[in-house]
Amino acid sequence: MEKRSELYRGKAKTVYTTDDPGLLVLEFRNDTSAFDGEKVEQLDRKGMVNNKFNNFIMAKLEQQGIRTQLVEVLSDNETVVKKLDMIPVECVVRNYAAGSLVRRLGVEEGTALDPVTFELFLKNDALHDPMINESHAVAFGWATAEQLTEMKSLTLQINSILKQLFADGGMLLVDFKLEFGVDADGNIVLGDEFSPDGCRLWDAETRKKLDKDRFRQGLGGVVEAYEEVAARLGVEL
């Protein structure tokens, strides 16, 4: 397989085409951004850590029967993935109140949510990823009702798997976002990434933040926190 031209450049990852039309290369960069790109920094080792972390999580999910776009690790910062027709709707699960939920509803950060909440957001940086509902997604053609049903089911399955995985490492999985796409056979497949960039993780005892909130809130030690999470889970860096 030969890596070819740049297809898409996001805030922290770059996607490249290959000589196989069904495969892409996902490059994890050291770029770190928050607040829709208003705060941007380069953090050494971050791309490598997120790449290996993502591959570890995706492999764990594959073992539990969840389809992912993972194919193989190419290098410290690159992974070969299946090409998907991405659905522009982000699925968000919240096990504890944090972030925008606290700001929107005025609830106390850290409140346990039972049952967990499930939300949909339109993936659109220009509009700041607005919250939407199923009717919006179907009416505007962003996803079908059947796709949304399966995406919700898969997201909640993934939440159950990962909550236990992080609990075994002494951590709380506070919330996370997932993106899905459709493969060549019409299957709904987990795409994009799962890393501390796209979820909130707290130490179960101290509630020390071990995720991208360290960058958003200027707490420092961002990559060191990511590495701590990886070490607790047994990810080889």
pLDDT digits (tens, 9 = 90+) for 50-90: 999 999 999 999 999 999 999 999 999 999 999 999 999 99
Contact between 155 and 62 (Cβ < 8 Å): no
SS3 27: strand
8 Å CB contact between 134 and 118: no
Statement: residue 36 has pLDDT above 90: no
pLDDT value at 215 more than 90: yes
- Mapping DSSP to helix (H, G, I), strand (E, B) and coil, where does residue 13 land? strand
Residue 24 pLDDT > 90, yes or no? yes
When pLDDT is averaged across residues 115-140 and rounded to a whole number, the result is 97
Two tokens, residue 167: 């609990």
- pLDDT recorded at residue 35: 81
Instruction: Give me the CATH topology for the region 85-221.
Output: D-amino Acid Aminotransferase; Chain A, domain 1 (3.30.470)
Q: Which CATH architecture has domain 3-82?
A: 2-Layer Sandwich (3.30)
Residue 214 pLDDT exceeds 80: yes
Structure tokens at 9: 């450049």
Enumerate the domain spans of the chain: 3-82, 85-221
Q: What is the CA radius of gyration of the chain?
A: 17
Give the model confidence (pLDDT) of 90-117 as tens digits. 999 999 999 999 999 999 999 999 999 9
Average pLDDT along the chain: 97
For residue 188, the cross-strand partners are 182
